[in-house]
């Protein structure tokens, strides 16, 4: 799947990874060849991997504060869901955050949780085949897996 195809499919989310919008995307994907479902999973994992960088992951959650008003750090899950929300927002937003880290910050909000996007390829596969998908992708999308993005974590 090309990046253009990936972003065109992602545009069906209308900027947000809600349960409903992600279900629509999974339905649409399920009517395509299995290779497209796999391709979507690969592009999605790569898009998340590219966002897996210290400059984004160390931003505080914007709508929470810790004790005494100090910034509340993102957990690994919050950071993953924020990256999903950035992808769901579309290509222009995804590309813009690399040039301006402040554009990533709004996506750390609990109001913009993109977790549902994680399940789209698996749901599409199940709808298409009737079977569960034990998948792996070339890029790991889990938080802190991009060693180039987290130079201090390198072994």
Task: Give the pLDDT confidence of 107-117 residue by residue, as tens digits.
Answer: 998 788 899 99
Residue 62: the pLDDT is: 81
> CA 32, CA 11: separation in Å to the nearest integer?
17
Residue 121: the pLDDT is: 97
Q: What is the pLDDT of residues 49-69, one digit of tens each?
A: 999 999 999 888 887 666 767
Residue 109: inside a domain, yes or no?
A: yes
Residue 153: inside a domain, yes or no?
A: no
Residue 32: inside a domain, yes or no?
A: yes
> CA 29, CA 44: separation in Å to the nearest integer?
13
- What is the phi/psi pair of residue 142, to 5°? -65, 150
Residues of the chain with pLDDT under 50: none
Count of CA atoms in the C-beta half-sphere (13 A) of 2: 3
Residue 15: inside a domain, yes or no?
A: yes
73 DSSP β-pair partners:
60
Residue 154: inside a domain, yes or no?
A: no
Residue 149: inside a domain, yes or no?
A: no
Contacts 24+ apart (CB under 8 A), 12-16: 13/88, 13/90, 13/117, 15/88, 15/89, 15/90, 16/85, 16/88, 16/89, 16/112, 16/114
Count of structural domains within the chain: 1
Q: Which structural domain, as residue segments, surrounds residue 132?
A: 3-143
Residue 133: inside a domain, yes or no?
A: yes
Residue 152: inside a domain, yes or no?
A: no
């Amino acid at each position: 799947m090309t990046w253009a195809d990936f972003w065109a499919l992602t545009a069906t989310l209308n900027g947000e990874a809600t349960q409903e919008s992600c279900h629509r995307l999974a339905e649409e994907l399920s009517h395509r060849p299995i290779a497209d479902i796999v391709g979507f999973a690969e592009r999605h994992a790569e898009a998340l991997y590219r966002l897996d960088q210290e400059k984004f992951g160390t931003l505080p959650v914007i709508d929470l504060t810790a004790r005494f008003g100090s910034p509340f750090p993102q957990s690994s899950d919050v950071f993953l869901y924020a990256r999903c929300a950035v992808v769901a927002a579309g290509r222009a937003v995804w590309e813009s955050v690399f040039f301006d880290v402040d554009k990533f910050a709004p996506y750390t909000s609990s109001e913009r949780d993109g977790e549902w996007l994680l399940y789209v390829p698996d749901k599409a596969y199940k709808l298409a085949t009737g079977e569960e998908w034990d998948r792996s992708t070339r890029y790991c999308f889990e938080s802190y897996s991009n060693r180039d993005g987290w130079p201090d974590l390198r072994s």
